[in-house]
A and B are shown apart, each in its own frame.
Chain A
């Protein structure tokens, strides 16, 4: 069943048996029965396994930090959206799920040792170092993490959290956990991008209606199928819910419940809605029957019906606008029909749909002079929506005198998947070490890229008198004159010492008065 040599083994290396060992087979069977256990020793980039041998001798502390670096870009390449500030979110999930408590056991040490022997074709794993943690610290990580409160909105280029080893023997541990901690780029980026979209929606909603009613339901998470895994879905969906309340990505809600907690029973909501299969299953000539059946199934709550299976414009004009008009007009404002286009150019389609519906269901003019469809009918655009098309659509609607009250948006891939660590330049770097008892401020400064320069020494985050954020380097923040450090210890030697509820996170991340003022 298994080969003696792996088929792609690098030439020139001495071969050893690559058939599974007895313990490996046992483990495989255990894994398949769902008893997989996370092993922090196997949750790092391979090369970090070899780093304990590379630090200067007599190093007793390694101190590192995380930031969303500022990027001084070439002005000719200016991005449409600048992302000047980021939402800090997601650390608590990582701490709870992966770093707290007894994470080192003899079995896990053994497992890691075996894996790395084969993976490196050499005994390079620091068995001694991990055994020390097992014996001296009862398997808990001698690490201290200080971080900005979750939900905080902080300008780029500031320290967001710091990590340092607390036991001189475990200096190598700080950067061992870089790989797992840097994955915080994802919830930070989803929450930040989602919040920037909230600003756009707030601006146009306010301008075209005079208030922000329903803002939190204007961008619905459609991204569950378009993310790379179940775990990503949970993390990403929870990050979107920092800013909004509408989601179809159920996984996000369990993440919030389990790792943050809310005072309300659930942090996110949805409504009954059709998909193409529930329309096309009726057959091409029975689209009207499908529509009718579905709205009748859900008479007293909002119901969204995808209407482009064959011809969106015909569906709007003839089926909704004529055949089923009576049924729609009898619905209450609490239970509108929400028409969902799902193909074609997003802006063009939205405008044309509004125009057609506007002819059949006469809109009124609101206090700001914009048209609003009768309360029993609305539109949701859930195809091709990203931060740029969102801006285009709301701008286009405004130009055509349509209030944003008429519309909600769904976003999938762009909300939860079309993002990378480079968007906000999320980075983890060592800034301070203690060697031979002496503290040294360290940094990188590559000649070919000033953007990649890192901060020096021990760091802290402060607010200036004018309310701006500033990161102090080289331990300067420890001098009393700069006021309180906004970084709080959240994790210490295996224990989580400070937590935030999701309500606190939402509160910290809400749009500020000043940002709303900027918008109009």
Chain B
């Protein structure tokens, strides 16, 4: 049921108020779609579809138009445009004819599905000919789907990199789901974005400090607890002891949290000194008392991430020893681990893991925290997300429409009514011009006339988004895929999925 205070009539780009006057006369249907356009040279070939259910539940279902909201909007637009241009009558008709519910149909790919770039992800059309103008009125709100899609996609890309290195250096994927911890709550632009981004990360991982994401997953995706965390220090809890008492500060954390894992930021003054002389010497016995279930996780937080990490792990190995795992890589004792939570993005994480492996260290030794790069350092251009009109009906006659700017062919849009199918070769493709067969259409009607018709739980979404064998193969990950040809790879991937789903 849509949020009570929220005025849907004010949740659009201003210029869209004026569009009902601009469409051809006698238009009875506007049909539009959303895609993550293909872009040459982009490092992301496929996307995770996620987040629509949140928008539908929060803003679009139920009675979104009331007389109060119409009046508020009317008054506002009068002043904002300095003239009367708001379509008061149009909105009142929604109130009268449809009890304030939106006469719109949205068909979408199931949430969590992995879809190659350049395919339709959802379509929007009006179900009542009187409200053709409504389809693109909601573009502004629906295009914000770029965000949960992009976070979930980037998060999954991280997972691919981590999986590759973990498999190669340890022989298994145990602990993969905790390898990337969401540190992004403070670095994101608002509470709402934190919740949405935080939940998107939880599609792929279960480690987070962004509590808002847990609540989002609980309230909108039926997951009572989607993520976990551990007690950890921050700089204030260390420096408040004074410069000369860093050891006491460290010891306090160990004492207070003796039965589970605990993370201690150790770079307040000198990370190397802290590792060598405090953890590795003064508190060495206290550290060795701990078990795998109550391990100490040391956190560097400054300096060059890869160099600092290598230096730290060397010092810790000197002080505590290390052993070799079944793949021949070095692992610190099970009561001791490291978390690198500063300066992490897709590039640096790969560099770090690469360097670690070159120096003979297993990826088991390190977990990662990521803030900005996970939840904020992304935008609509990252996956070229766009919403475009592809079909209209005028005087009962349908017409396929599109844009095709001469100055940028990549901005061309699809034509006609669209559907998504898996073709005979196993590739996912979009069928244009209304030529798709309904029984093959992977798009599902999720919203119609104010009602949510299909719900997905985080469980289902996680299943849909899981890494596939190809993603886990140590020899291949994204950039190298380019050489193998996108279609073939996607075909193989989908065929394997199909087989997996059928068994």
Contact = CB atoms under 8 A, between A and B. Distances in A.
A47 B263 contact: yes
Contact of A42 (B6, B76, B212, B302): B212
Interface stretch (B18-26, B98-106, B476-484): B18-26
B234 A226 contact: no
A180 interface: yes
B453 interface: no
A420 B240 contact: no
Of B18, B24, B372, B411, chain A has the most CB atoms within 10 Å of the CB of B18
Contact of B190 (A34, A64, A231): A231
B233 A269 contact: no
B389 A280 contact: yes
Interface string B234-262: 11111111110100110011001101100
Contacts of A64: 236
- Interface size band for A: 35 or more
A269 B82 contact: yes
A218 interface: no
Given A228-B196, A430-B236, A444-B268, A18 B224 contact: yes
Contacts of B12: 224, 250
B218 A310 contact: no
Interface stretch (A3-11, A321-329, A397-405, A504-512): A3-11
B15 to A, nearest CB: 4
B327 interface: no
Contact of A343 (B232, B259, B269, B411): B411
Given A10-B228, A343-B408, A251 B223 contact: no
Interface in B1-57: 1-7, 10-16, 18-19, 21-24, 27, 30, 32, 57
A423 to B, nearest CB: 10
A132 interface: no
A202 interface: no
A102 interface: no
A449 B211 contact: no
Given A53-B256, A224-B13, A229 B147 contact: yes
Interface stretch (B107-115, B202-210, B434-442): B202-210
A446 B237 contact: no
Interface string A46-58: 1110110111100
Given A46-B208, A124-B231, A342 B389 contact: no
B168 interface: no
Contact of B13 (A24, A222, A345, A428): A222
Interface in A33-68: 33-36, 38, 42-48, 50-51, 53-56, 59, 62, 64
Interface of B: 1-7, 10-16, 18-19, 21-24, 27, 30, 32, 57, 59, 76, 79-83, 85, 136, 139-141, 143-144, 146-147, 174-175, 177-178, 183, 185-194, 196-197, 205-206, 208-212, 214-215, 218-219, 222-243, 245, 248-249, 252-253, 256-257, 259-260, 263, 267-273, 292-293, 301-304, 308, 371-372, 376-377, 379-381, 387-389, 392, 399, 401-408, 411, 413, 457, 459, 462
30 contacts: A6-B225, A35-B4, A44-B185, A45-B209, A47-B234, A118-B225, A119-B228, A122-B260, A225-B141, A230-B192, A231-B191, A235-B189, A266-B76, A269-B80, A270-B14, A270-B80, A270-B81, A272-B81, A290-B22, A297-B21, A298-B21, A311-B406, A342-B405, A435-B240, A442-B236, A444-B235, A444-B238, A444-B268, A448-B304, A449-B303
The 7 A-B residue pairs with the shortest CB-CB distance in the complex, in nearest-first order: A448-B303, A344-B407, A430-B236, A277-B389, A270-B14, A231-B192, A46-B229
